[in-house]
């Protein structure tokens, strides 16, 4: 059965979990999330987008949400749901479709380009915009050339490395990227490399690909035992566990990695820091979602799509896991402690 409740913004909403995509009543806004309803990355974005609409004077709009849970569900099941969502968009013609993170956008944007009466506003994209645009054109540089705009998830890698060197009071030698081989793991790995291109850290990266949990743990052992590696970035978004055939997400693999690797874990966001990693400069998911919601508000108030260029996420926070810091024997100076926005644990 569908799940009914009110989103915190106050917008009336029908939220449909994966596998429950039954016929739905017409809504002004479709919200298509790549992951499950309580995903630590996705949920702040969709709640913030709805909050922005409410604060912009559009609390009376109705929102219909779909949660694809792509990290753990079979591709065939997700594909069936996407076809249902496409049908709903074509027949109901919502004012806006919000997509949250890459999988939802990748599966919908080409179809929505064929329906100019509906605008797509994305949040949380990590894959290169050029890669999407080469497949189906919707941007001229960052100016919309069609009915799509949104907020790109800049992940603050340059700031991350500079802050880490300041904290440690020494230059970094090598930093490992430990990534899963699912689409999002690969996209994030590529984005980390792209953001550091042209910096003095460009040649500091060592990349390890983990297609399953045993491989991940073998790489973790190598990272831990390699003296030149000062820190690592966990990007194990969805990793197959051959013992039961299921995919394990970051919340499950985090304790395995922090036990196996006694080095600084650079978190891509504060939610991952909450799983037990050291932390660092984190994307503010709520503010990124609010940016995308505010872009929709400007369009609802009569702005043209060309006047709503694609934006980078603007706000970051510094989040540090105090327990992990103590486990690693790291001591921060009072000045460095003063720049930390959020202490976890």
pLDDT, averaged in runs of 10, over the chain (345 residues): 33 56 72 93 93 94 93 93 96 96 97 96 96 96 96 95 88 96 96 95 96 98 97 97 95 97 95 95 94 95 94 94 95 88 91
Q: How many CB atoms lie within 10 A of CB 17?
A: 16
Q: Pull the structure tokens for residue 125.
A: 């994209």
Helix (H, G, I), strand (E, B), or coil: what is residue 205?
strand
Which residues, other chains included, contact 188 with Cβ-Cβ below 8 Å and sequence gap of 6+?
A: 126, 155, 179, 235, 237, 268
Return the pLDDT at 277. 97
E-strand stretches of 119-236 = 119-125, 139-140, 143-144, 148-152, 174-180, 205-210, 229-235
| Cβ atoms of 6 and 72 closer than 8 Å | no
How many helices and strands (H and E) does the chain possess? 12, 19
Measured between alpha carbons, how far is 245 from 163 in angstroms, rounded to an integer?
39
Q: Pull the structure tokens for residue 138.
A: 């919707």
Q: What's the CATH fold of domain 3-153+284-315? A: Rossmann fold (3.40.50)
Is the whole model's pTM more than 0.95, yes or no? no
Return the pLDDT at 28. 93
Measured between alpha carbons, how far is 328 from 54 in angstroms, rounded to an integer?
44
Range 250-265 burial, b when 16+ CB lie within 10 A, else e? beebbebbbeebebbb
From the number of C-beta atoms within 10 Å of its C-beta (0-12, 13-18, 19+), residue 270 rates as buried
Return the pLDDT at 131. 95
With tokens 């709903």, the residue in question is 88
Compute CA distances 25 → 31, 85, 92, 143, 327, whole Å: 14, 13, 8, 33, 52
| Cβ atoms of 80 and 30 closer than 8 Å | no
What are the start and end residues of each CATH 3.40.50.2300 domain in the chain?
A: 3-153+284-315
Return the pLDDT at 3. 28
Measured between alpha carbons, how far is 44 from 25 in angstroms, rounded to an integer?
25
CATH number for the domain running over 157-268: 3.40.50
| Cβ atoms of 159 and 212 closer than 8 Å | no
Q: Using the 8-state DSSP alphabet, how is residue 170 labeled?
A: S
Return the pLDDT at 336. 85
């Amino acid at each position: 059965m569908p799940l009914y409740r009110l989103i915190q913004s106050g917008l009336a909403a029908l939220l449909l979990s994966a596998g429950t995509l039954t016929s739905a009543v017409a809504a002004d806004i479709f919200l298509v999330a790549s992951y499950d309803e309580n995903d630590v990355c996705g949920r702040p974005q969709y709640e913030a987008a709805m909050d922005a609409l409410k604060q912009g004077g559009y609390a009376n709009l109705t929102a219909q949400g779909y949660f694809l849970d792509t990290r753990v569900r079979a591709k065939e099941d997700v594909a069936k749901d996407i076809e249902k969502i496409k049908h709903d968009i074509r027949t109901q013609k919502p004012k806006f479709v919000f997509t949250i993170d890459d999988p939802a956008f990748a599966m919908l944007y080409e179809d929505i380009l064929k329906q100019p009466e509906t605008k797509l506003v994305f949040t949380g994209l990590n894959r290169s915009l050029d890669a999407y645009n080469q497949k189906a054109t919707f941007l001229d540089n960052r100016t919309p050339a069609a009915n799509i705009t949104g907020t790109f998830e800049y992940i603050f890698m340059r700031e991350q490395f500079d802050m880490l060197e300041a904290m440690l009071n020494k230059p970094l030698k090598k930093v490992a990227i430990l990534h899963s081989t699912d689409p999002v793991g690969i996209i994030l790995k590529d984005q980390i490399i792209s953001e550091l291109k042209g910096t003095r850290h460009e040649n500091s990266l060592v990349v390890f690909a983990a297609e399953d949990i045993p491989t991940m743990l073998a790489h973790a052992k190598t990272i831990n035992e390699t003296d030149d590696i000062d820190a690592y970035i966990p990007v194990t978004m969805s990793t197959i566990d051959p013992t039961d055939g299921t995919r394990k997400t970051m919340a499950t693999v985090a304790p395995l990695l922090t036990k196996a690797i006694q080095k600084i874990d650079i978190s891509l966001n504060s939610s991952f820091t909450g799983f037990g990693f050291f932390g660092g400069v984190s994307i503010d998911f709520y503010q990124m979602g609010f940016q995308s919601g505010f872009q929709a508000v400007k369009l609802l108030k009569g702005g043209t799509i060309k006047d709503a260029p694609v934006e980078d996420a603007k706000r970051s926070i510094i989040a540090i896991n105090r327990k992990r810091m103590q486990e690693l024997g790291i001591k921060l100076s009072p000045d460095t402690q003063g720049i930390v926005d959020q202490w976890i644990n």
